[in-house]
Each structure stands twice: as C-alpha cells, then as structure tokens.
A and B are shown apart, each in its own frame.
Chain A
C-alpha cells in the first residue's frame, strides 16, 4: 500500500505520457489525458501527504532491494509539500492548456512532455538516492528543453540554447559530483551518505565535493550568479510552459540544496554562510532585472530569480541557526518553515502570473508593456485576479506572500541576521514597484493602440471566449489559494513547520530509509520481492 502510494505521483504522469504518445494523432484526447492525469496526481499527492502526516516519513524500496543497495523512494513532509506543489501546478497548467495550447503545439507533443516533466519532478522529490535524482533531473531537463523549443521560432531556439547549455553544465557537474561521492563512499543512497560521511570525519573533503554538487543545484535553482538561463528562456516560450517551469522547475534545485546539504553535504557552517551571501545576491540581481524589464514575462522571469533568493535565505538562516546555537532550534524551524512556505506561495503565485500573461497575450498579441494598456476596462476579471496575485508576490498582507515574508523576517531578526533581512525588505520594495509597474502599464493606462488587434490562433474564433474562460479557471483557483493562505495561514504554516522539523532532524529520514524506524514498512528483507513496483 505504502509503496504503491509512494510511486503514484511518479507513475501516473509517466503512464499518462506513454498514453499520450500512443494517441499522437489526437491532440484533443491528449489534453484530456493530461488533465485527468494531473488531477489524479494531485489526488495521489494529497493521499500520500495525509499518510505521511499520520505515520511520519515513509519509505519503499524499489524492487524490494534493501537500502542502501537498491533505490529507495521516500516521502517525508518536505517531499509531500513539494509533490503537492508539483501536482497543483501541473493541474493548473493542464487546465489552462485546454484553452491555450493550440493544435500545432499539441500535436508537437506538448501534453506528453508536460507529463514527463511532471514525472521527472515527482521522481526528484521522491527519490532517496542521489544518482536516481540525477536521472530524474535529466528527464526534467530534456522534457523542458523540448517544451521550450517546441515551435522553433528564432527566439525560442536562442532561449532554448542558453537553457540547454547552462543546464547541461549543471548536469555534468551533478554527475561528476555524484561519481566522486560514490568513489569516496561506495554508496549513492542519501540516508547512507548521511551516516557514512560524518562518520568519516573529513568535512573539508565533503565540502569540496559538495561545492561541485551544490553549484549544480544552484544552477538548476537559478541562484546568482548562475541564473542566466532563466530570464533568457522563460520569456521566449508559451506562458503555460513558463508557468510550469517557474512553478516547479527552479524549486527542484532549491529542494535538492535543502535535501543534500541538510543530510550530508553541509558539514561545515561556512557552506551556509556562502549560501546566505548568494541568496542576497540572487534577490538583488533578480529584482533589479525585474525592475527595469519592459515585458511582462521578462518581469516575471526575473522575479523568479529574485524569489529563489528568499527561499535560499530562509534555508541558510535556518541551518546557521541550527548549527551555531543548539538552543535556537525554534528559530531554525521558523526560518525553514518560512522558506518552504515561500516555495508553496511562489509556486501558486508565479504560476498564476505566467498564466495571466497567457491571457494577456491571447487578448492583445503581446506582453510588451509599452504596447499594452486599458486591460482593466476590457478584462476586469483578469485585472482583478492579476492585482490580487501580483500583490501577493509583493508580500502584501492578507495574501500568501505576506505570511511567507513575515516568517522569514521574524526568523531573520531572531537569528540576528539583520543584513539579509534588510536586503530582503529592500528587494520587497522593488518587487512592489515592478508589480505596480505592470499594473500601471498593462492594466491602468489608456490603451497604447486600439485593442482591436486580436491575436489569431488556430482554433475556431467562435471558441475564443470559451478558451479564455477555460484559461481563467485555474487562474481564479490559484488566486483563491493565495488569498486562502493569507487569510488562514495556520494549516499551511503547520505543514511547513513540520517539514522543517523533519529536515532539521535528519536522523528521522535516515532511520526511515535504512529501516531503523518502526514506522517503516517491513518490506526490506533481501528475500523475494513482496511489493514490486
């Protein structure tokens, strides 16, 4: 049961992707399969989360080969939160895609690739094996690259090239680092590494390997100064693809940093000092780009960079607090809970903003601010949803962004990290500025040109309104989620706090994977498989 539940968020999208490939000539049916699979993945993730909240972290051994010899799938609360993010964003994108993905794109494999992307992300969140994580990284990378370049316009290919090149460097570094790690310890099971590396007592050596692996993750996470691929590619691809990628892809990097460095790579506190410094740089450089960008999707792309900084800041503050002063455990928990909540918040909000940019693009044929205007008259509902979502991104109260920001600020002040708190608040102001800029230029100002130029698309013009309505459904739901977290933050905060507590006590994770915990399923004997995957 547990094994099945653990594997579902991975297997559902993978199987559905295969189904899509089998229905290659029927894009409409693929869209349906994609949406169905997305909702099923969401349901499976919710069920898994409920299970983990009830039993604590759970693990299953693929093929019933015992850890650390086989590959372990493991879900603690952090993994569950990330899976919820992934499946939620997937569902939103699939819903939006019903209206926004046209036939040429769909027949190019958009839906199948969306599903393999989701499967890769799920795999990365579920695996307890660092080499297996690399495999899922490759699944993600290739899926997203094809998604980005599908359509092959010049800008897409340029963006795709930057994306692919820089991410391949990350892959290469990741793989090299894992190879070295395996050479050193003879294992790639993360729980096993968490036991063996500290026992070897060679922190400087671990940091050297860690530098390579964490740099790879930092490229994936789009942390400064390694984020170039993100602004280069997010504004060239269709908004629904950008929404998928902004919602989950860079968070995989953050998740990996959290997972690997809390378990085994972060033996020296200096690692987190560096991470903290880079988080500040990430926030500032990202928001600078957003403040001067003149195109909605570029603004959003740069913000994705900036917001990654907040997540890394929370994690670094937490680890520094936990490592330097044992009594500051509550501070560390709050900081990490804030970082995790920030990921949830950002996934909902940034996905939504990209989806809204899709509606704007559909309506006006451009997302350049200079050519937009008057949308709050012509599209009042979209305008309202944009305003709520944009204000949430800027951290305005009653919305999710404020709760996440408040947790980080409080924890930062408690931990005595005043400098990073000051940076984060300055960045918050520029975030507010760039969101108000978009609101001002796209929605408030009088239209630059009469809004008669409706973008053509391959669908029947008669279905245009229906398509737009379909696109607005997930947008409304995600805006509602931002409001819900803002108004009633306790459940989300409790969930994130629990995730943070587990991350800060790696023994629980290690015990779950290696079977030293009574809550683990007894399916680990090297006897014939009981619960084959």
Chain B
C-alpha cells in the first residue's frame, strides 16, 4: 500500500501534462481526485495505525550501498502523509483555478505531484539513505516550483537561494546520516533509533551537528530562514503547499524521527531549544512588521517552525505539543495561504493594509479566514488553541527543568506576535473597514475586480479551516488520535504503552485556571493590542531594521558572494590564459615532486654512477644537440627556433643511427620533419614572441628549466647504475634469428617482437600527415581571407564547424596573424 501510494502519485505526475493537454479544465480536479483517493486510502488505515499497528514494506534497490526501498507507516508518518495528500489534493484543486491561464500549467501539475511523491516518500522512508533521496528530490522539485514564473528575475533568484540553502543543508545531512548510520551499523531508521550504544560513539557530535544543519536549513531556522520568505515569489498554491504544510516541515519531521534516539543528548536538546526559540521569536518579530499577506504568512510560518523545533528539544511532553502544533499549524496556515491566494485572485492586491470589508464580496473566504485566524491566534475552541496551550505548558514545565526564564519570554513574545499577525491577515482585510486613505483599494465599491471566486478556490481554505474547528471542538474525532499517535512515535513509544501520550485535547480539559492559561490568553490580548496599535508599533520598532545587515538574508548574501568571490579570485590567478604561467607551474610541480622523491632515492642508493667512454661522433652529436637547444633558447624569431628544434631532433636521431638503430633513426627523422612542418603552420599565425625583459622572470624560468633538466639527468644516472632485475633484452638477441628469422635484432624488435608499437607509431605518423594535410587543406579550400574588422572579437564564431562556410574558417588571418 505504501509503495503503491508513492507510485500512484508519481504516475499522476507523469500523466499530468498529458491529462492537461487532453482535458484542460478538467485535469486539475481529476488529479486532485486521484490524490484524494490516496488520502482516503491512508485515512482508511488510520484507526489501525493510531491503535499501534505499523506497516512495513521492503524492496531491494542497491544493497551494495545500503540503499533499500524500506517504507514504514507509524503514527508520525501517518500524520505527515495525511497532511501531504490531504492538503495536496486541496492545493491541486486551488491551483487548477488560480493558475488556470498559466502557460505552464501541465508542467506545474507534474512538478507539484512529483514534489508530493517525494515528500510522501520522505515521511514513509525507513531507510536513512532512501529518506535522503526523497529529501533531495523535494529540494529539486521545489526549485522548479519556486521558479515557475522564471521569466521574472526575482523568481529565479528566490529559486536559486532555496536550492542552494536546502542543497547545502542536504549535503550536510548526507554526511551526518552516513556518519551516524555507520557508527550505529544500520541504515534502517526504526532500527537506528534503538541503538543506544551509538550515543557513546565519538562520531556522535559531528553527526548531530551535520544532521541539524540539514534540518535547520530545510525548516528555515535561524540563521538559514532567508530563503523561505524569498520563496514567496512562487504562486500562492506553491507557497501554501510547500511553505506551510509540507516541505518546510521536512526538517521538523526528521528531527522528530530521530528524537527517540537523540532526545536527551545535551547537544541535540539545547540546539533545538535555543535555535527554535530564537527562530520563533525573531521571525515573529520580523513578520509582525510586515503588511503584505504572503510575507506575514511566511514569517509566521518560520516562527511556527521554530516553535516546533523548540518543542522537540523539550522531551516527551514537548513531542506531544509539537505533534498537536504541527497538525494545527498545517491546517490554519494552509487555509490562510489559500485565503491570501483567493484575495490576490479577486482583487490583485497583495498588501493587507490596503484592503478592507472583504466579507461582503468574499463571505465564505472571510469565514474561513476568521476560523483559521482564530486558530492561529490560539483562541479556545479551535485546534490552534490546543497547540499553543501545550506549547506554553511545556515551556513552563521546562522552566522547572532548568531552562532559563528567557525561554518563557521568547514563547510569550512569539505567541503574542503570532496573534498580531493572525489579526493582520485574517481580521484586517476581511472584517475591518476599508482604509480611506488615497490609493486604498476598496473592492466592494469596485466590483469589476472583486469577482466572486470559483468553488475550487474557496473550497480548500473552507475545508482546512473547518478541520481546525472540528479539531478544536471535538478533538477525539481525528485530531487527538492522529496527533497523539505521532507524539508516541516521536517519543519512541508504541500507543497504549506505559508513558504513551495521553493528553486530552478538548477545551474543557485545557481551559483550567493556571499560569499556562493566563500566559496564553495574555499573549492573545497582547497580540491584539499590538495589532490595534500597529502603526505606532511599526514606527517604534523601525530602528530594529538597523540589524538587517546581521540578519539571515545578509548572511546568505555574504556566504554567496564570499564563496564566488574567492572562486573568482583564485580562478583568475590559476587559469589566467598565460601559457608561460602554466608551463612554470607544471614544470615547477615536476621539479618539486621529482626532486623530493629522487633525493630520498639517492640517499638510499649505494650503487656508483657508471662511466662509459664517449667517442668523437657521439661527442659531436651531443654538442650539436646542446648548441641547437641553446640556440632555441636564445633565438628571437619563431621560424629560427623551430629550425633549431628540428636540428636538435636530427642530432638525437643521428645518435640512434650511431648506436645501431637506423630504422628508429629514420622514423625519428620523419617525425621531426613533420613536427617542424606542423609547428610552422600552427605557430606562424600566433603573435610574436613576448620578450621577458624582467630579469627576475627569466631567472625563475631558467631555474625551473635547469632543475627539471637536472632531475632527468639525475634519474638517468641513478638508473644507469642500478640493475634491479635481469633485462628481457637477452631474449631478443637469442631468439631474433632462431625464431623470427632476422639477423638485425633492432629490426626484429620493431617489426616482430614489438610490432604493435610500430603499428601505433605508423598511426602517429599517418595522423601527423593527415593533420598537416587538414591544416593546409582547410585553408586552401577557402576563397581568400575574409575582410574582418581588426577589432572583431576573436570568438565571434566560437565554433568553426558551424560558422558560415564562405570564409569564417579563413577569417582569422588578417585579425590575428600579422607579420611573424
């Protein structure tokens, strides 16, 4: 069933463009129906899962790498997969209407469904590497989704930022998971969380740091949250799905998944609490100063994610609170994002301050917004209240456990500012009067813009808001079992076991006089006060924007430009286009490595250097070679240098002849001749020699050259005195005549013993000949040099194969050649 669910959604993804092509308007609802059926299938087994049944499915993938398609449905996976498919179906429906005229709707469906399948795979995966596979796929698919409107530079930039931030985190996560799993000796997550012995492993600390880096980037924690508000460049449907209910919860999910093992480790708990609380408060503060719908919602989402992360650091009670909060948040935030989408669709206004009294034109949406807003603010009677109440309770509980009072401050502050944000998006545009100031948009008076939304638009927010209401009024119906089963999974317990979560979520139980209730109601009141006095509040907090250069966006920008700036600086030095520099580095490297090793070998060698007599002809040839080489270095004309090079080659070839290898010598003569011809052809058209007037540069060059030359001499001298084994050459002289019927041993070696070498060398000669022919031929075929302007960029036609046939190939001569 689990693999079938993922496969079904993947299949929908593949079929989506076809479906869109075939049915247009009908495709969206049809796909939503398909996803809805997967939701229904999961909901069908939900009672079993909440009762403690765990479904396992395993298929081999790449056992060599520990990669296995192992899927597991427990309480936590159930909660997440119901959200993914349930919200997913609603969002598909919404998108089918809101993006009706988008040119890439078919591709959008496909990408969204691919994302959904990846997300589902992530929460169902029981193999750490499989989870990572899906994790990365959510990053890639969300990159495509955020950049859906890719003609806009902002959308592309936001997509890249999301990709890089979550991509960096993903790689850290990979390292962390592999480290942890190698230490534990298993890649199976359900097995891993039982291996308590890994807690004493030295690799635990880096593993935790790396895994948290992955989770914090994905779930937009401080200081990595900047990508999430940026990702609001995406269409609202994408924001509602990715950035409220699913993708950003992936990090929270993985933290929860590893909690049974790592909860209780000081580094883990304290990181979660500190980072989570900082995120909850910091993002709530930034968000409370915004007025644009989606920006407010984005920062409140970041704040809520911080809350969940913080709660996961607070032990088993925190796990329960986190699970309830996660469910409540997904419902109200999903609803509010879609509400923002409806408002945008109806009025084309994105600023909540410029809207008012929308309840008249959008009654259902306004009701849904009100319910979701109340849930977000944490008003009793809605699921959000339960989440917030447990959050406050656990934080107070933690206070007794030793966490300092600032935690309570952060919780209260974040709660109050979230209530203010809830009022900003749910109250202000719908239920307060339209602003009278100039430029304000009053949709009620301008019915042309405020058209009533189609049902696929409002049904989503309505359903999710209703679910939040039902969850609050009658938690036993679905909210409590699902959330508590998830809490048990987070705590590593099976439902019904001693210690399993058994927190009543209904209002009657939660509304009990006590510090928790006072604090939470006080936060709501404070939030409303902030909202009422929002102009003064924004003015008073304006100085805080001075902190922006220290904020997450600046951190991202600094990291981005820092890495690329370093890369630029280094590349400018290393690949600077100067062959002279390349030669220096290459030969310098040879010299250093060669001498570094040769020195040791000399030190360890005891053999003397052999001395052999040198005849006059040999001496003359060596002298000729030396003179030619010296001429090569000293001469200034290119052709003369090539000639000197050829002379040196001829001297060496003559040495072969002197030592009884005329065949070899002949080959060498031929190769030398061809080389000279080729070199003349190639070099003729290059600029004149640069003359290195700097003596220092010439000294360095000479030192490197002499060092490499001396290295070669040293190696040869060493080798000449050392004989490590019996040479095979005796075989050649013994068998040349007897077996190969040849009396000249060298000839026999060339044409028989080592005929394959000769075949290769003949090929080299043939290629050289072809090369000369081709270089001449391709030029000769062209009608005279084309008149190209001297200033023309050399790479105007970077590819001659595709350049105009009528002269581009010859077009180089006038611009670059010049007299040699």
Task: Report the stretch among B77-85, B413-421, B571-579 that lies at the interface.
Answer: B571-579
Is A204 positioned at the interface, with any CB of B under 8 Å from its CB? Answer: yes
CB distance from B275 to the nearest CB of A (A): 21
| Residue numbers in A under 8 Å from B797 (CB-CB) | 153
Whether A406 contacts B757 in the complex (CB less than 8 A), given A212-B590, A396-B136, comes out as no
CB distance from A526 to the nearest CB of B (A): 6
| Residue numbers in A under 8 Å from B4 (CB-CB) | none
Alpha-carbon separation in the docked complex, A443 to B254 (Å): 34
Q: Determine whether the beta carbon of B801 is less than 8 Å from that of A238.
A: yes
Q: Determine whether the beta carbon of B800 is less than 8 Å from that of A153.
A: yes
Is B761 positioned at the interface, with any CB of A under 8 Å from its CB? Answer: yes
| Residue numbers in B under 8 Å from A102 (CB-CB) | 801-802, 805
| Residue numbers in B under 8 Å from A186 (CB-CB) | 723, 725-729
Alpha-carbon separation in the docked complex, A288 to B731 (Å): 53
Residue from A197, A204, A238, A489 in contact with B62 in the complex, judged by beta carbons closer than 8 Å: A489
Whether A108 contacts B174 in the complex (CB less than 8 A), given A146-B771, A186-B723, A429-B167, comes out as no
Task: Report the stretch among A40-48, A158-166, A313-321 that lies at the interface.
Answer: A158-166
Within residues 381 to 399 of chain B, which ones have a CB less than 8 A from any CB in chain A? none
Alpha-carbon separation in the docked complex, A269 to B78 (Å): 52
Alpha-carbon separation in the docked complex, A153 to B685 (Å): 10
| Residue numbers in A under 8 Å from B764 (CB-CB) | 135, 138-139, 142
Task: Output the residue of B686, B725, B729 with the most chain A CB within 10 A.
Answer: B725
Alpha-carbon separation in the docked complex, A457 to B729 (Å): 56
Is B680 positioned at the interface, with any CB of A under 8 Å from its CB? Answer: no
Residue from B598, B686, B808, B809 in contact with A161 in the complex, judged by beta carbons closer than 8 Å: B686
Alpha-carbon separation in the docked complex, A7 to B556 (Å): 56
Residue from B136, B604, B816 in contact with A397 in the complex, judged by beta carbons closer than 8 Å: B136
Q: Determine whether the beta carbon of B582 is less than 8 Å from that of A229.
A: yes
Task: Report the stretch among B627-635, B688-696, B714-722 that lies at the interface.
Answer: B714-722
| Residue in B closest to A239 when the chains form the complex, CB atoms | B799
Q: Determine whether the beta carbon of A157 is less than 8 Å from that of B685.
A: yes
Contact with A along B640-659 (1 / 0, CB 8 A): 00000000000000000000
Q: Determine whether the beta carbon of B62 is less than 8 Å from that of A289.
A: no
Within residues 152 to 187 of chain A, which ones have a CB less than 8 A from any CB in chain B? 152-158, 160-162, 164-166, 169, 173, 176-177, 179-187
Q: Determine whether the beta carbon of B586 is less than 8 Å from that of A154.
A: no
Within residues 12 to 67 of chain A, which ones have a CB less than 8 A from any CB in chain B? 14, 17, 21, 62-63, 65
Residue from A101, A173, A361 in contact with B798 in the complex, judged by beta carbons closer than 8 Å: A361
Q: Determine whether the beta carbon of B812 is less than 8 Å from that of A154.
A: yes
Contact with A along B550-569 (1 / 0, CB 8 A): 00000000000001101110
Q: Determine whether the beta carbon of A101 is less than 8 Å from that of B66.
A: no
Q: How many B residues touch A, CB cutoff 8 Å?
A: 126
Contact with B along A103-115 (1 / 0, CB 8 A): 1110111001100
| Residue numbers in B under 8 Å from A418 (CB-CB) | 206
Alpha-carbon separation in the docked complex, A157 to B775 (Å): 11
Task: Report the stretch among B329-337, B503-511, B777-785 that lies at the interface.
Answer: B777-785
CB distance from A154 to the nearest CB of B (A): 4
| Residue in A closest to B175 when the chains form the complex, CB atoms | A425
Q: Determine whether the beta carbon of A179 is less than 8 Å from that of B716.
A: yes
Q: Determine whether the beta carbon of A155 is less than 8 Å from that of B566.
A: no
Within residues 139 to 178 of chain B, which ones have a CB less than 8 A from any CB in chain A? 140, 143, 147, 150-151, 153, 156, 159-160, 163-164, 167-168, 171-172, 174-175, 178
Alpha-carbon separation in the docked complex, A288 to B575 (Å): 11
Residue from B60, B164, B722, B809 in contact with A152 in the complex, judged by beta carbons closer than 8 Å: B809
Is A407 positioned at the interface, with any CB of B under 8 Å from its CB? Answer: yes
Q: Determine whether the beta carbon of A173 is less than 8 Å from that of B763.
A: no
Is A473 positioned at the interface, with any CB of B under 8 Å from its CB? Answer: no
Contact with B along A385-423 (1 / 0, CB 8 A): 000000100001110001100110110011000100110
Q: Determine whether the beta carbon of B174 is less than 8 Å from that of A425.
A: yes
Is B760 positioned at the interface, with any CB of A under 8 Å from its CB? Answer: yes
| Residue numbers in B under 8 Å from A289 (CB-CB) | 567, 571, 574-575
Q: Determine whether the beta carbon of B589 is less than 8 Å from that of A211.
A: no
Q: Determine whether the beta carbon of A63 is less than 8 Å from that of B178.
A: no
Q: Determine whether the beta carbon of A456 is less than 8 Å from that of B804.
A: yes
Is B596 positioned at the interface, with any CB of A under 8 Å from its CB? Answer: yes
| Residue numbers in B under 8 Å from A293 (CB-CB) | 571
Whether A136 contacts B752 in the complex (CB less than 8 A), given A162-B579, A444-B150, A457-B802, comes out as no
Contact with B along A451-488 (1 / 0, CB 8 A): 00001111000000000000000000000000000000
Is B794 positioned at the interface, with any CB of A under 8 Å from its CB? Answer: yes
CB distance from A168 to the nearest CB of B (A): 10
Residue from A135, A160, A205 in contact with B722 in the complex, judged by beta carbons closer than 8 Å: A205
Alpha-carbon separation in the docked complex, A188 to B674 (Å): 28
Is B133 positioned at the interface, with any CB of A under 8 Å from its CB? Answer: yes
| Residue numbers in B under 8 Å from A413 (CB-CB) | 175, 178-179, 182
Contact with B along A317-338 (1 / 0, CB 8 A): 0000000000000000010010
| Residue numbers in A under 8 Å from B725 (CB-CB) | 184-187, 196, 199-200
Is B403 positioned at the interface, with any CB of A under 8 Å from its CB? Answer: no
Is A5 positioned at the interface, with any CB of B under 8 Å from its CB? Answer: no
| Residue in B closest to A437 when the chains form the complex, CB atoms | B160
| Residue in B closest to A527 when the chains form the complex, CB atoms | B739
Within residues 576 to 631 of chain B, which ones have a CB less than 8 A from any CB in chain A? 577, 579, 582-583, 585-587, 589-590, 593-594, 596-598, 600-601, 603-605
Task: Report the stretch among A77-85, A254-262, A362-370 that lies at the interface.
Answer: A362-370
Q: Determine whether the beta carbon of B600 is less than 8 Å from that of A207.
A: yes
Is A68 positioned at the interface, with any CB of B under 8 Å from its CB? Answer: yes
Alpha-carbon separation in the docked complex, A195 to B814 (Å): 59
| Residue in A closest to B587 when the chains form the complex, CB atoms | A169
Alpha-carbon separation in the docked complex, A490 to B61 (Å): 7
Q: Determine whether the beta carbon of A155 is less than 8 Å from that of B795.
A: yes
Is B129 positioned at the interface, with any CB of A under 8 Å from its CB? Answer: yes
| Residue in A closest to B674 when the chains form the complex, CB atoms | A142
CB distance from A398 to the nearest CB of B (A): 7
Whether A105 contacts B151 in the complex (CB less than 8 A), given A162-B579, A173-B590, comes out as no
Q: Determine whether the beta carbon of B564 is less than 8 Å from that of A396.
A: no
| Residue numbers in A under 8 Å from B798 (CB-CB) | 155, 235-236, 361, 366-367
Whether A132 contacts B175 in the complex (CB less than 8 A), given A69-B753, A184-B724, comes out as no
Is A232 positioned at the interface, with any CB of B under 8 Å from its CB? Answer: yes
Whether A432 contacts B754 in the complex (CB less than 8 A), given A108-B778, A226-B589, A288-B567, comes out as no
Whether A211 contacts B65 in the complex (CB less than 8 A), given A413-B175, A425-B174, comes out as no
CB distance from B201 to the nearest CB of A (A): 13
| Residue numbers in B under 8 Å from A396 (CB-CB) | 136-137, 140
Alpha-carbon separation in the docked complex, A211 to B715 (Å): 11
Q: Determine whether the beta carbon of A208 is less than 8 Å from that of B601.
A: yes
Alpha-carbon separation in the docked complex, A497 to B773 (Å): 45
Residue pairs across A and B with Cβ atoms less than 8 A apart, 8 shown, are A103-B805, A109-B774, A112-B770, A152-B800, A337-B64, A456-B803, A489-B62, A526-B735
Considering the complex of A and B, which 7 residue pairs feature the smallest CB-CB distances, nearest first? A186-B727, A151-B800, A458-B805, A135-B760, A288-B567, A146-B771, A200-B724
Residues of A within 8 A of B (CB): 14, 17, 21, 62-63, 65, 68-71, 73, 100-105, 107-109, 112-113, 116, 119-120, 123, 127, 131-132, 135-136, 138-139, 142-143, 145-146, 149-158, 160-162, 164-166, 169, 173, 176-177, 179-187, 189, 192, 196-197, 199-200, 202, 204-205, 207-212, 215, 219, 225-226, 228-229, 231-232, 235-236, 238-240, 285, 287-289, 291-293, 302, 334, 337, 361-362, 365-367, 376, 391, 396-398, 402-403, 406-407, 409-410, 413-414, 418, 421-422, 425-426, 428-430, 432-433, 436-437, 440, 444-446, 455-458, 489-490, 493-494, 497, 526, 533
